[in-house]
Amino acid sequence: MDSLSLIAHFQKIIGKEYVLTDSNSMAPYLIDWRKLFRGKALAVLLPKNVDEVAALVKQCHQMNIAIIPQGGNTGLCGAATPDNSNNQVVISLKRLNHIREIDKANLTMTVEAGCILQNIQETAASANCLFPLSLGAEGSCMIGGNLSTNAGGTNVLRYGNMRDLCLGLEVVTAEGEIWHGLRGLRKDNTGYDLRNLFIGAEGTLGIITAAVIKLFPMPIAQWTALVAVPHIHSAIQLLNLFQSQASVLLTGFEMMNRTSLAIVGKHFPQMKNPLQPEPNYSILIELSDHESEFHVKELFQTIIEKAFTDGLIEDAVIASNLSQANTFWQMREHITMAQVEENANLKHDITLPLSKMEQFILETGEKIEKQFPGIRTINFGHLGDGNLHYNFANPENMASQDFQDQHQNTIAEIVYEQVEKFGGSISAEHGIGQLKLDKLRAHKGEVAHDLMIAIKKALDPKNILNPNKVLPKYTPK
């Protein structure tokens, strides 16, 4: 079938206006958020419900057309961008954006894949419930994308990542069948866990069209502070202190080194660090309580006083109201945007055992600074989860693009070698996509990698779902 007839088939399934083929309307779907990856597509398809998705996939399966599922297109590994063959289609889930049900008694919500994360949070809040997944891109990323990347964010410490927040899925398989797995059960030991195969698969095993997600009672009080610590050692000791004293009330513990907040202040002057002089590390801490404002405040103050006495912190600013707490969070969330403004920079989203974190940072920092004098380390992350965004920007005397072109591979090699040495992971929460495709086999080991390929071949024998992402191309049957 030629491409014109194929397009006509797609138009018949979802309507002419939802099959985009002109370059202007397709453009935003063909480039990733960081503008590192660009691709081409036969068409961008915008189905409105699961049946339309299934019909489109059936058609593609029959014609051997590769499909790139896409949500909010905020992913940071190029996983939602087609290749340059012009033989692939993008299926955007954005029109599947209905909240199907809120079950308050079961503390669950059934949402379609194209629901924007922030809308889900707000709908949950209007029912006095909390949906805790929270990340910088929440105004545009979609729950299908969050599930497919097993997104993390700032609340993992207390509530877990997306995998922990999902109970059931509805999925269109590579052959266009619909798996109706929308169960709101917290226990279900009935054989293989299909749900967890699709979560984190980055669209390579099936297209998620809806999910049952967990809700939690809304905390009645939150207490937020920004504290200054002199070095990473005290940051980790402070985390341990909060974990031992506040236990599950600790809902946020974000670390930001001086350069991270300096670039936020430079590009977003309204978000200047209130801790002055700017410390080596600023830590954003949040406690959430279901008891009372008084209780959380008392607890917070007791822990902070002990931290001062033990010499762990140098300074602290406690948010006096919700608006100031939001400003602290905005500072944290704007680091990624500030890095974009700062132009090319090298990102490494890694995790390490907390017990190895300090040694990793000191040793790796020394190696890199020795080889690249003047390099700027933008080191921040969800310290409570052992997750570092361990990024680098050009020395002041070198153009950022030259820095990226000439040194990104060497720096990545050093970072990933150190990650292996300290028993960490090369991807904490962003995924593999096309960015880290070539690193996965060495990192996972041959047995794990071959098992992943076997799963992919079983679920998508024609290799039409997001090929060459996560796993390398293989010859289909």
Ligand X SMILES: Cc1cc2nc3c(=O)[nH]c(=O)nc-3n(C[C@H](O)[C@H](O)[C@H](O)COP(=O)(O)OP(=O)(O)OC[C@H]3O[C@@H](n4cnc5c(N)ncnc54)[C@H](O)[C@@H]3O)c2cc1C
State the Cα–Cα distance between residues 73 and 52, nearest whole angstrom.
21
252 lies in the binding site for ligand X (CB under 6 A)? no
Measured from the CB atom, the residue of 394 and 427 that comes closer to ligand X is: 427
Measured from the CB atom, the residue of 143 and 299 that comes closer to ligand X is: 143
Choose, by CB under 6 A, the member of 47, 72, 200, 467 that binds ligand X: 72
223 lies in the binding site for ligand X (CB under 6 A)? no
Residues 308-347 vs ligand X: string with x where CB under 6 A? ----------------------------x-----------
Say whether 346 sits in a helix, a strand or coil.
strand
Strand 387-393 and strand 376-381: the pairing is: antiparallel
Question: Minimum distance between the CB of residue 394 and ligand X, rounded to whole angstroms?
Answer: 21
434 lies in the binding site for ligand X (CB under 6 A)? no
Window of 146-154, 311-319, 367-375, 406-414 that interacts with ligand X by CB under 6 A = 146-154
Structure tokens belonging to residue 454: 């076997």
78 lies in the binding site for ligand X (CB under 6 A)? no
Window of 22-30, 133-141, 211-219, 454-462 that interacts with ligand X by CB under 6 A = 133-141
Sign for the pseudo-dihedral over CA of 322, 323, 328, 330: positive
Residue pair 185/167 in contact by the 8 Å Cβ criterion: yes
Choose, by CB under 6 A, the member of 39, 47, 132, 145 that binds ligand X: 145
230 lies in the binding site for ligand X (CB under 6 A)? no
Helix/strand/coil (H/E/C) assignment for every residue in 32-75 = CCCCCCECCCCEEECCCCHHHHHHHHHHHHHHCCEEEEECCCCC
Q: Which residues are bridge partners to 129 per DSSP? A: 217
202 lies in the binding site for ligand X (CB under 6 A)? yes
Choose, by CB under 6 A, the member of 26, 41, 44, 93 that binds ligand X: 93
181 lies in the binding site for ligand X (CB under 6 A)? no
State the Cα–Cα distance between residues 308 and 362, nearest whole angstrom.
24
435 CB burial (10 A radius; 0-12, 13-18, 19+): buried
Closest CA to 117 of 99, 137, 138: 138
State the Cα–Cα distance between residues 303 and 309, nearest whole angstrom.
10
Choose, by CB under 6 A, the member of 59, 148, 234, 427 that binds ligand X: 148
Q: Hey, how many other C-beta atoms are within 10 angstroms of the C-beta on 94?
A: 19
Choose, by CB under 6 A, the member of 30, 45, 60, 80 that binds ligand X: 80
Number of residues that bind ligand X (CB under 6 A): 36
State the Cα–Cα distance between residues 91 and 68, nearest whole angstrom.
6
Q: Hey, how many other C-beta atoms are within 10 angstroms of the C-beta on 33?
A: 19
Closest CA to 92 of 53, 138, 137, 146: 53
153 lies in the binding site for ligand X (CB under 6 A)? yes
174 lies in the binding site for ligand X (CB under 6 A)? no
Q: Using CB under 6 A as the criterion, which residues of the chain lie in contact with ligand X when the complex forms?
A: 33, 68-76, 79-80, 93, 113, 135-137, 141-142, 144-146, 148-149, 151-153, 202-203, 207-208, 336, 429-430, 466, 469
